[in-house]
Amino acid sequence: MNSHNITHRQLFFLIVQTQIGVGVLSLPYSLFSKAKVDGWISLILAGILIQFSCLAIWKLCARFPQKTIFEILPKIMGKNLGMVFNIIYTLHFAAISILLLAMYNNIVGKWILFETPHWVIIFIMAFSGSYFITSTPRELARFYTLVTPLLLVLLGLILYAYTDVHFLYLLPVGQAGLSNILKSSSDAVVALLGFDVALVFLAYTSGSANKMLKAISFGSLCVTLVYLFIVVTTFIYFNPLEIIIIPEPVLYMLKAFSFSIIERTDLIFLSVWIISVATSFISYLFVVAKGVQTLFKLQNHQSAAPFIALFCGLIAIIPNEKLEIAAWNKYVSLTSLFFSGISPILFLLIAVIRKKNEKGTASS
Amino acid sequence: MTFFKKPKKLKQIIASVQKEDKTETYNEVGESQIEQKQTIEDIVAQIKEPFASTEDLITQWIELPSDDSRVALLYIESIIDRKLIQDQILNPLFELSNEIGMDSLRKMGKLDLTKHTDMTMAQSLLLQSHTLVFTEDTACFYSVSTPVDTKRDITEPDNETILRGAHDGFIENLSINLALIRKRLKTPKLKVKYYRVGKETHTTIAVVYVDNIANPDYVNEVENRIKSIEADGIYAPGNLEESIEDRPFSFFPQMVSTERPDRVAANLMEGRIALVYDTSPTAHIMPVNFFTFYQSVDDYNNRWIIGSFFRLIRLFSFFIAIGLPAVYIATVSFHFEVIPFGLILLIKSSLEDIPYPPLFEAMLMELTIELIREASIRLPTRIGSTIAIVGGLVIGDAVVKAGLVSNLMIIIVAVTAIAAYIVPSNEMSAAVRILRFPFMIAAATMGFVGIVFGFMILLFHLCRLYTFGAPYFAPIAPLSLKDLKDSIIRAPFWVMNRRPQDLDAQKRSLDNQVRKWEKKS
Amino acid sequence: MKKVTYLLPILFLLTGCWDQTMLNQTKLITAGGFDYTKDDKVIGTAAVPQAVAVEAGQSKVADLIFSSTGFTARQTRLRLDRKVTERLEASKNQVVVFGEKAAKKDIYHLLDVFYRDPKSALNAKLAVSKGRAADVISTKFEETKTSTGVGEYLRDSIISAEESATVPKENIQTICPLMFDPGQDFALPYLEPMGDKIKTVKVGGVALFNGHKMVGTIKEPLSVVYTMMTGESSTVFMSTTKKISNKKNQNVLNYATIKVQKNKRHFSVKVSPTGEISAQIKLKTKVVVTEYPPDKLSSPTEIEKLEKALSKRLSKDAQEVINRLQKMNSDPYGVGRKMIAFHYPTWKKLDWAKEYPKTKFTASIDVNIVDSGIIE
């Protein structure tokens, strides 16, 4: 394992790249649909919440150094219950991967490739993913680091919106009411998902525990800020009444921009965005592969890769309507809120109460 | 010399089929000897046995006037210099052997002979232009190196010309090549290890590295891989390259091949390892990263700002050479919305009457360029320029006039071709040229999405590629900001005070204590 | 080398080309126009340039004009498509023109197709034309004969009007938030085709909107003042010529031309305790005198005098603009938006459409001469 380890800096990029994904495009819309222009407050609340989850994840993994969640669970829950939870977690991560694929397919199909069959769009991503996860976390982290500057391109393009913004649209603050703001932050948590892959990748990180914590928590913070920037930008670019009918406000905004050497910046944005989605998808696919490896007691996770990709791809083809994807999104949101946001805290509590850590298990 | 356990096969390299050995006629006596005590004739016959029927193996018998003992000289006529034998053996022998014996002569240093006791080495020595000297003392023999001087002049390599800097290049002679390196690195730390590979060819390879800089892990890795080669012959450096590189299926070259000793020397000082070959002017440098291929000696001789600029241009050319035709295809056949209005009518009108889809157009022209390139390499230079004219002017112009290919495509293809040839390394240039085809296909299928997936896979391939354990895409993945100053740009000499991290050199710091003088105001 | 096998399926996927829309097999619409027939059908008019023979970058564009009717904008597009040989593409559309009657009905209904289509050109300029849009688009303008097509010609005319601040900068996307905004309206360029023999188009001012409907116009010299008050700090050539006195006997001496260098708008909306709403725009503008025939700007008093005269004159114009806007019930400066942002409870109780014309809305422009060209 040691030669494939990643540094805490690479962990940071891994978390950032995993978190930034499909959510970038639709987050302003989903926030707005509940919390109106106060959606950005929901986002901040969600950002604070996931900081706690990050802390819990880190604390949990710190008790079991170099163990992934799939190895930790049997230790704190007992063998059988741990197995059950492993299955649940693997399916949960698979569900996220599938949802990512479906949403990516939906957006690409709607914005660039109108006629291309959906299975082509999905499987090109799925098979690229299976190629990527045949490597070790170290190479993945290197790749993520390499493509991170592209995020700046995305942000730079969005920055151009400030030529025509109406700051007054944000006012008055708090018109949606506290309950709506809270409800909406669950949507924000879903968009910020990605920190949960730390459950697996922390096992491959070398370095002091403090630095690891800094990496994940700072990573999540950065992503929260980036999202905040995007959300606020769209909120002040579009009229509040307009956002309701625009599911992908960021793209819509970019569509109107034109420069003297290039027009239709949304196409450029989308192309770069695909890489962001791919990195999220690959991270989750890797986690699923690790889960499958544990469940089937495989020698390495690589052998499972093509089957997982095929599985995810096939299921992602099924929903071909916007509404169906929305329904899936809702279910996965709920489960992820629980499995990624809350349950790490619970596991940590269980581990603390049952006094399980690496040494404790050795004696029992 | 454990590589010489099967000397019997050596005879294949001498291509004579004559049945009768000319040298046999001198000493028929040698063949009827008693088994117990080996005489000098026995030994000579024994040595000669695998060489049977080659006519250029000469045995020369000399009777020493002093003690009536006989001495036999064995050599392969075609690869030795007779004058050297005369000077080095015969003259001193006749002058001095009256007084003292052979061995004592050697010990006194009057005769430049090496003493051997291992008879199995005789054949290989013969094949390496040595002359063997056998005396009545059958337990040992002597050898002296008498190579014939067949080397060509040291010239600047045609395929790696530079503007400023040294204009010498490797030639087909190992010792000269090593001399060219040693001339630049006059340090005892410069280590040279010889390996002979190929069961029949016995190609000599020198592994060269600087002892206290190069990481021993990489040195061991290189040596192990060379040792593991078991082949009848290593005919060209390419054979060796393919036998020891990490990913033979990759498009990317995994070692730098160069004919420039200055380039080798600079890389050795960075902590890399060089392979220098006998019979080939090409040396290989390893472990390398992607950016090594984009460095040229010229960069260091230019002022650093200019050198940096050129290097950036070269890296930029990588993306142009791979991506430009693909982006063009994707744009005109998928996303022409991105073309600004002022340009679109122009492009549209130039495309209007082209019957073929852009992919076909591009393929046609790219292949034409490759044809021209291939043709001009094979042809002698004088005809080569004709090809350039035919290819460049006639085809380029006529194909547009005929309406097969659009004006714009010609521009795109031409820019791409130029961008591909900017790369200072031939192999990398070839890799880049090949890579554009998958990208073009991807672009013609899914537009920008296809290109994005293409680049993703390409970049990831680079990220996971290792050469001899060193990451290939090194200062970028893994990211090492400090190393970017000699890969993306060419920072001034006095700033470069660390060796590249990916090479994990034993001595990381470079003592570039320059510009310490006081500035006079 | 197992890993290579992972890439094989990808190659397999790369075999079709479903989305290909070849540039040379499409017809690009560069200008579109919408009118209504008497029985409420939409008439769509489109200009499609046919490039004729390119030699050394000199393209000559001949426009083909197609038009068709339908019940909706999309239907007219589909019917247009059937009239031409290749696929019609609106992704490079430069300008959308509404006939005055169509604009007075509702422009959002016609623009919906642009907002919904992922390939549409949202950066196209919008304009309202005097008379029918179809007439503007199908006119053979003088300038289009030599080089550009009608789409480019109209777009460039509008852009040059924007640069001289005759009209505010808008495109399909930028008016979208405003169309939805209950507290703000917008204005579009108002095109007037001119000339009998030498045909040109003139951007004659701005067409003002209330919600989705056009409610009136402000014509050219005044429209510069209108644009200045939108808060636009400066454009390339934000200039206006104003009469500042009646005293000189030679009429030309009564005028001064200024170029605005920088505008600073102070815009406040106040609600008094009694519920009265008052709005005020104070504009501080730094100008360069680009024309002043009396030529006596050497002394500070002289400059001050000119400043005062200009301020007075411009403030009067500004108030004129405001009065007209209130009369038309068009709120392009966003008084209502300010109300929503800062006086939300009050706003909620109001019927803004009725309240706005009654608002006490004042405007003043304070001119500060910073430069006077290379002579004094």
Q: Are residues C137 and C48 in the same domain?
A: yes
A168 touches chain C (CB under 8 A): yes
pLDDT at A24: 83
What are B406-420's pLDDT values in tens digits? 888 888 998 998 998
B176 Cβ contact list (under 8 Å, min separation 6): B151, B154, B170
Most A CBs within 10 Å: which of C180, C331, C346, as the mutation test of the A interface? C180
Whether residue A163 lies inside any domain: the answer is: yes
- Of B163, B491, B498, which is closest to residue B307 (Cα–Cα)? B491
Which of residues C220, C247, C269 is at a domain's end?
C220
- C146 pLDDT tier (thresholds 50, 70, 90): low
Residues of C in contact with B346 (CB under 8 A): 51, 54, 57, 59
B2 vs B397, residue with greater confidence = B397
pLDDT at A279: 92
- B180 pLDDT tier (thresholds 50, 70, 90): very high
Whether residue C274 lies inside any domain: the answer is: yes
Tokens of A330: 């809702």
Please report, rounded to a whole number, the percentage of residues in chain B having pLDDT higher than 90: 18
β-strands C42-55, C31-36: how paired?
A: antiparallel
Q: Are residues C68 and C38 in the same domain?
A: yes
Nearest CA in chain C to A126: C10
Q: In this complex, how many residue pairs, one in chain A and one in chain C, have their CB atoms less than 8 Å apart?
A: 91
- Of B107, B135, B108, B113, which is closest to residue B125 (Cα–Cα)? B113
pLDDT at C3: 56
Whether residue A353 lies inside any domain: the answer is: no
What are C65-92's pLDDT values in tens digits? 888 888 888 888 888 888 888 888 888 8
| CA pair distance B206, B277, nearest whole angstrom | 6
B56 vs B65, residue with greater confidence = B56
Q: Cβ of B351 and C152 within 8 Å?
A: no
Whether residue A24 lies inside any domain: the answer is: yes
Tokens of A9: 């800096």
Q: Cβ of A272 and B452 within 8 Å?
A: yes
What number of other Cβ atoms are within 10 A of residue B87's Cβ?
Answer: 13
B369 vs B69, residue with greater confidence = B369
pLDDT at A249: 86
Which of residues C157, C185, C220 is at a domain's end?
C220
Q: How many folded domains does chain C comprise?
A: 2
Phi, psi at residue C204, to the nearest 5°?
-90, 5
Q: Cβ of B456 and A275 within 8 Å?
A: yes
Tokens of B350: 């130039």
Q: Cβ of B441 and C14 within 8 Å?
A: yes
C255 Cβ contact list (under 8 Å, min separation 6): C241, C242, C243, C244, C291, C293
Residues 102-121 of A with CB under 8 A from B: 108, 112-113, 116, 120-121
Q: Cβ of C54 and B445 within 8 Å?
A: no
Please report, rounded to a whole number, the percentage of residues in chain C having pLDDT higher than 90: 2
Residues of B in contact with A128 (CB under 8 A): 453, 456-457
- Of C140, C148, C324, C147, which is closest to residue C223 (Cα–Cα)? C324
Q: Using alpha carbons, list the distances in angstroms from residue C81 to C42, C68, C88, C114, C120.
A: 15, 10, 6, 16, 15
- B22 pLDDT tier (thresholds 50, 70, 90): very low
B258 vs B66, residue with greater confidence = B258
In this model, does residue C5 exceed pLDDT 80? no
C63 forms beta bridges with C49
What are B422-465's pLDDT values in tens digits? 888 888 999 999 999 999 988 988 889 999 999 999 999 999 89
Q: Cβ of C149 and B345 within 8 Å?
A: yes
B208 touches chain C (CB under 8 A): no
Whether residue C8 lies inside any domain: the answer is: no
Residue A197 belongs to what domain range?
8-347
Closest partner residue to A263 among B338, B449, B451, by Cβ? B338
- Of B167, B101, B180, which is closest to residue B133 (Cα–Cα)? B101
Residues of A in contact with C340 (CB under 8 A): 168, 171-172
Rounded to an integer, the average pLDDT of A247-265 is 82
Most confident of A186-200, A230-244, B177-191: B177-191
Q: Write a three-state SS string for chain A.
A: CHHHCECHHHHHHHHHHHHCCCHHHHHHHHHHHHHHHHHHHHHHHHHHHHHHHHHHHHHHHHHCCCCCHHHHHHHHHCHHHHHHHHHHHHHHHHHHHHHHHHHHHHHHHHHCCCCCCHHHHHHHHHHHHHHHCCCCHHHHHHHHHHHCHHHHHHHHHHHHHHHCCCHHHHCCCCCCCHHHHHHHHHHHHHHCCCHHHHHHHHHHECCCHHHHHHHHHHHHHHHHHHHHHHHHHHHHHCCHHHHCCCCCHHHHHHHCCECCCCECHHHHHHHHHHHHHHHHHHHHHHHHHHHHHHHHCCCCHHHHHHHHHHHHHHHHHCCCCHHHHHHHHHHHHHHHHHHHHHHHHHHHHHHHHCCCCHHHHHHC
pLDDT at A50: 85
What are A273-312's pLDDT values in tens digits? 999 999 999 999 999 998 898 888 888 888 888 888 888 8
pLDDT at C2: 55
A262 touches chain B (CB under 8 A): yes
Whether residue A1 lies inside any domain: the answer is: no
What number of other Cβ atoms are within 10 A of residue B83's Cβ?
Answer: 11
Q: How many folded domains does chain A comprise?
A: 1
pLDDT at B182: 93
Which of residues C220, C249, C284 is at a domain's end?
C220
Upper half-sphere CA count for residue B234 (Cβ side, 13 Å): 27
Q: Are residues C193 and C227 in the same domain?
A: no
Upper half-sphere CA count for residue A355 (Cβ side, 13 Å): 5
| CA pair distance C125, B192, nearest whole angstrom | 73
Q: Are residues C193 and C238 in the same domain?
A: no
pLDDT at A358: 63
For residue A98, give the CATH number of its domain: 1.20.1740.10
Whether residue C7 lies inside any domain: the answer is: no
Whether residue C6 lies inside any domain: the answer is: no
Rounded to an integer, the average pLDDT of B257-276 is 91
Whether residue A114 lies inside any domain: the answer is: yes
Closest partner residue to A262 among B338, B476, B478, by Cβ? B338
In this model, does residue B273 exceed pLDDT 90? yes
- 3-state secondary structure at position B187: coil
What are B445-456's pLDDT values in tens digits? 888 999 999 999
Q: Cβ of B337 and C92 within 8 Å?
A: yes
- B55 pLDDT tier (thresholds 50, 70, 90): confident
What are B138-171's pLDDT values in tens digits? 777 888 888 887 778 888 888 888 888 888 899 8
Q: In this complex, how many residue pairs, one in chain A and one in chain B, have their CB atoms less than 8 Å apart?
A: 81
Q: Are residues C122 and C207 in the same domain?
A: yes
Q: Are residues C106 and C209 in the same domain?
A: yes
Residues of B in contact with A135 (CB under 8 A): 460, 464
Query: Given a contact as 3+ CB pairs under 8 Å, which chains touch C?
Result: A, B
Q: Are residues C290 and C349 in the same domain?
A: yes
pLDDT at C7: 61
In this model, does residue C278 exceed pLDDT 50? yes
Rounded to an integer, the average pLDDT of C295-309 is 82
Contact C120, C196 (CB under 8 A): no
Residues 319-338 of C with CB under 8 A from A: 334, 337-338
Q: Are residues C210 and C225 in the same domain?
A: no
ipTM of this complex: 0.92
What average pLDDT is seen over chain C?
83
Contact B425, B256 (CB under 8 A): yes
pLDDT at B276: 92
In this model, does residue B324 exceed pLDDT 90? yes
Cis? peptide before A172, omega within 30° of 0: yes
What are A41-77's pLDDT values in tens digits? 888 988 888 888 888 888 888 888 888 888 888 888 8
Cα–chain center distance at A275: 13
| CA pair distance B347, B310, nearest whole angstrom | 31
What are A71-120's pLDDT values in tens digits? 888 888 888 888 888 898 899 999 889 988 988 988 888 888 888 888 88
| CA pair distance A210, C16, nearest whole angstrom | 51
Q: Cβ of C18 and A120 within 8 Å?
A: yes
What are A141-176's pLDDT values in tens digits? 999 999 998 889 888 888 888 887 878 888 777 777
Whether residue C233 lies inside any domain: the answer is: yes
C11 Cβ contact list (under 8 Å, min separation 6): none
Whether residue A14 lies inside any domain: the answer is: yes
β-strands B57-63, B70-76: how paired?
A: antiparallel
Confirm whether pTM is higher than 0.80.
yes
Contact B294, B489 (CB under 8 A): no
Instruction: For residue B275, give the amino acid letter.
Output: L
A256 touches chain C (CB under 8 A): yes
B335 touches chain A (CB under 8 A): yes
Nearest CA in chain C to A235: C177
| CA pair distance C45, B301, nearest whole angstrom | 64
Containing B347, the helix (H) or strand (E) segment is: helix B341-351
pLDDT at C11: 59
B345 touches chain A (CB under 8 A): no
What average pLDDT is seen over chain A?
84
pLDDT at B326: 93
Residues of A in contact with B456 (CB under 8 A): 128, 147, 275, 278
B62 touches chain A (CB under 8 A): no
Contact B291, B157 (CB under 8 A): no
Residue C322 belongs to what domain range?
221-376
- Of C25, C23, C40, which is closest to residue C75 (Cα–Cα)? C40
Q: Are residues C209 and C242 in the same domain?
A: no
C71 touches chain A (CB under 8 A): no
What are C170-221's pLDDT values in tens digits? 888 888 888 888 888 888 999 888 877 778 888 888 999 888 888 888 888 8
Whether residue A359 lies inside any domain: the answer is: no
A23 Cβ contact list (under 8 Å, min separation 6): A190, A191, A192, A193, A227
